[in-house]
RNA sequence: GCACGAGUGGCAGAGCAGCUAUGCAACGGACUGCAGAUCCGUGGACCCGGGUGCAAAUCCCGGCUUGUGCUCCA
């Protein structure tokens, strides 16, 4: 069944057909590393991680590029406040990015280009735009002239030139005094004293905000490529500016075949943002939940929908993920991983999972299938059925929950965690066994207060006792 | 104001013309001294008003509410 993707530019779901058969070239806008990564970065990275995993699973060779905008006003501001070079700030936050993304099982992209490593290509692109009459040199930098390609306005947001002209009235920005029209945008900003800068034909300066993505995608993926992604907040002006730059520079249209945009994170019904103080860094969230539990929470909605983030939804995802891990761990230790082909219910689950993912990467539908396989697997474990079926369930989860959704740690660390649990259990057994016997005696004598008191003692040891039809079972809380 | 989305049961969240979504919660039952876990089962929804269709949560029109963008942002 064919993969269909929602393309922002055409505002429709389109059958996915790459420009070069069998390969997918994908560029996703990454971060500006001026502060530790936040939940919005996590959502973007995880959304495209799953998209890339699914494309590869579907047989495509994927070339996945995501960038670091490692020179920018905000980085400079932070560096100035700390009295350090801008690169110190950028490096520190890039390191943070890799660390938290690795923890959440985000596979590394094939390339992480940086603006500071792409300066020659950026300068060349700006020169070409000037040559072709799409850009002009102002007194404080080089600008793209919107009026040279008015038909490209509003390609992603549906806005028209007039709307923006009216909407921005009285709010003409103060940074581009050299602009001829407030809708023009900077390609190259001349440096003010003390700012980091690079030599260019127009003087010392640095790239404008949008040009780096046009230059980096061209450098790493070529003159046309299949998918360009990023957060929905980049639609305008960033991605529309890219369309102007790339298409006007290269002289063909379109440069990007499909535009994919992930939804934003909301807190209390509003977009998460620093000014509203409703801000969660990824590190903050790790204080409360395991990285994979956060990943679970962020995949619990389609990538395009906004997510309302709060402790309640986080706790619910934690609960679901813990349950999956418990069943998966027990099953893995009991039966190992086998082969799910030939098992009807698992094949049907795989079909529904596939249908969901092929429908614009609907990870939520996929998660429902994971939940149902987990439920069935737990029932199997409870009814000591044959190991082959259990192993088949493990294999299914390995492939889909682990391989595609990235929700499982690798099997070795699961085994290690199970083994660690076993040894912790053994260590406590000497203390627990006598108490269990005493409690059994009290229960036999129907001395309920005494039995409950012993249960409390066990709780203090961190042990939870549950009476089952087969006698009491205990586990470490 | 303009643009683009979204409005589904207590909550999360699918479906997007006819066929139980699912999960959590709730309720009932099994099992229980109690608790917990597990299993079985039940109820409950499609923002409002028109329209098209044999048939609409699903398509069309209008309205309302809400989010995002129009300014740095994943």
pLDDT digits (tens, 9 = 90+) for A15-32: 999 999 999 999 999 999
Please report, rounded to whole angstroms, the spatial distance between the CA atom of protein residue A368 and the C1' atom of nucleotide B28. 26
Please report, rounded to whole angstroms, the spatial distance between the CA atom of protein residue A228 and the C1' atom of nucleotide B62. 37
A40 and A106 part of one domain: yes
Full residue range of the structural domain in which residue A467 is found: 419-476
Number of compact structural domains in chain A = 3
Please report, rounded to whole angstroms, the spatial distance between the CA atom of protein residue A431 and the C1' atom of nucleotide B72. 59
Q: Which residue is nearest to nucleotide B3 (CA to C1')?
A: A159
pLDDT digits (tens, 9 = 90+) for A297-330: 999 989 998 898 888 889 889 989 988 998 898 8
Residue A219 contacts by C-beta under 8 Å, 6 or more apart in sequence? A113, A118, A121
Please report, rounded to whole angstroms, the spatial distance between the CA atom of protein residue A364 and the C1' atom of nucleotide B19. 22
The last residue of one of the domains, among A209, A230, A262, is A262
Is A414 domain-assigned?
no
What is the per-residue pLDDT for A278?
A: 76
A440 and A364 part of one domain: no
Beta strands in A278-411 (DSSP E): 307-308
Each as own residue / partner, the long-range contacts of residues A305-308 (CB below 8 Å, 24 or more positions apart, any chain) are A305/A263, A306/A263, A306/A264, A306/A265, A306/A266, A307/A43, A307/A263, A307/A264, A307/A265, A307/A266, A308/A266, A308/A267, A308/A269
Please report, rounded to whole angstroms, the spatial distance between the CA atom of protein residue A244 and the C1' atom of nucleotide B64. 38
Residue A210 contacts by C-beta under 8 Å, 6 or more apart in sequence? A185, A187, A237, A238, A241, A242, A245
A430 and A383 part of one domain: no
Tell me which residue has tokens 């950028």: A90
Please name the nucleotide lying closest to A313, CA to C1'.
B12
Is A64 domain-assigned?
yes
A404 and A455 part of one domain: no
A241 and A110 part of one domain: yes
A207 and A116 part of one domain: yes
What is the per-residue pLDDT for A165?
A: 52
CA A196 to chain CA mean position, Å:
31
What is the per-residue pLDDT for A221?
A: 97
| The token pair that represents A274 in the structure block | 């620093």
**Rounded-to-integer distance, Cα A197 and Cα A88, Å:** 15
Q: Which residue is nearest to nucleotide B24 (CA to C1')?
A: A316
Q: Which residue is nearest to nucleotide B35 (CA to C1')?
A: A466
Query: In degrees to the nearest 10, what's the CA dihedral of A92, A93, A95, A100?
Result: 140
| The token pair that represents A128 in the structure block | 């070409």
CATH code of A187's domain: 3.40.50.620
Please name the nucleotide lying closest to A448, CA to C1'.
B33
Structure letter (DSSP) for residue A2: -
Strand B: list positions under 7 Å from protein Cβ: 1-5, 11-15, 21-24, 31-40, 66-74
Split at pLDDT 50, 70, 90, the class of A384 is low
Q: Are A185 and A241 in contact (CB under 8 A)?
A: yes
A242 and A290 part of one domain: no
**Rounded-to-integer distance, Cα A428 and Cα A22, Å:** 56
For the cut 60, the answer to whether the pLDDT of residue A171 exceeds it is: no
Please report, rounded to whole angstroms, the spatial distance between the CA atom of protein residue A435 and the C1' atom of nucleotide B8. 51
For the cut 50, the answer to whether the pLDDT of residue A11 exceeds it is: yes
What is the per-residue pLDDT for A175?
A: 45
Is A278 domain-assigned?
no
A464: β partners: A475
């Amino acid at each position: 069944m064919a993969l269909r993707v929602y393309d922002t530019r055409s505002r429709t779901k389109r059958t996915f057909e790459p420009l070069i058969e069998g390969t997918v070239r994908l560029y996703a806008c990454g971060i500006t590393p001026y502060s530790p990564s936040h939940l919005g970065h996590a959502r973007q990275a995880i959304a495209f991680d799953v998209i890339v995993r699914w494309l590869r699973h579907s047989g495509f060779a994927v070339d996945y590029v995501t960038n670091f905008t490692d020179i920018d006003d905000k980085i400079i501001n932070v560096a100035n406040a700390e009295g350090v070079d801008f690169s110190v700030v950028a490096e520190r936050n890039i390191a943070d990015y890799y660390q938290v993304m690795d923890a959440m099982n985000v596979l590394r992209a094939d390339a992480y280009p940086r603006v500071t490593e792409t300066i020659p290509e950026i300068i060349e692109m700006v020169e070409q735009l000037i040559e072709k009459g799409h850009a002009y040199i102002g007194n404080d930098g080089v600008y793209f002239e919107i009026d040279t390609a008015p038909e490209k306005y509003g390609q992603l947001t549906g806005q028209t030139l007039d709307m923006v002209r009216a909407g921005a009235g009285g709010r003409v920005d103060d940074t581009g005094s050299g602009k001829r029209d407030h809708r023009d945008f900077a390609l190259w900003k001349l440096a003010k004293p003390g700012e980091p800068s690079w030599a260019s034909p127009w003087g010392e300066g640095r790239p404008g905000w949008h040009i780096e993505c046009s230059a980096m995608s061209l450098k790493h993926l070529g003159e046309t490529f299949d998918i360009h992604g990023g957060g929905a907040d980049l639609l305008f002006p960033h991605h529309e500016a890219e369309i102007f730059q790339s298409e006007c520079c290269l002289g063909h249209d379109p440069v990007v075949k499909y535009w994919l945009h992930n939804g934003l994170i909301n807190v209390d019904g509003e977009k998460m943002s620093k000014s509203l103080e409703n801000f969660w860094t990824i590190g903050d969230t790790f204080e409360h939940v395991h990285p994979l539990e956060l990943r679970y929470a962020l995949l619990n909605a389609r990538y395009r929908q906004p997510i309302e983030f709060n402790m309640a939804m986080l706790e619910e995802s934690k609960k679901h993920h813990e349950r999956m891990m418990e069943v998966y761990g027990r099953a893995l230790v009991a039966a190992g991983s086998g082969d799910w082909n030939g098992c009807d219910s698992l094949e049907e689950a795989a079909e529904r999972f596939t249908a969901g993912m092929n429908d614009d990467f609907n990870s939520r539908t996929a998660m429902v299938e994971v939940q149902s396989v987990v439920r069935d697997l737990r029932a199997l474990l409870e009814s000591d059925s044959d190991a082959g079926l259990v192993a088949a369930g493990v294999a299914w989860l390995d492939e889909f929950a682990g391989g595609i959704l990235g929700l499982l740690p690798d099997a070795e660390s699961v085994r290690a965690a199970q083994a660690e649990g076993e040894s912790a259990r053994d260590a406590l057994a000497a203390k627990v066994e006598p108490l269990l016997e005493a409690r059994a005696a009290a229960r036999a004598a129907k001395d309920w207060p005494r039995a409950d008191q012993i249960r409390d003692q066990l709780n203090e040891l961190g042990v939870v006792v549950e009476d089952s039809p087969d006698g009491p079972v205990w586990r470490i809380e």
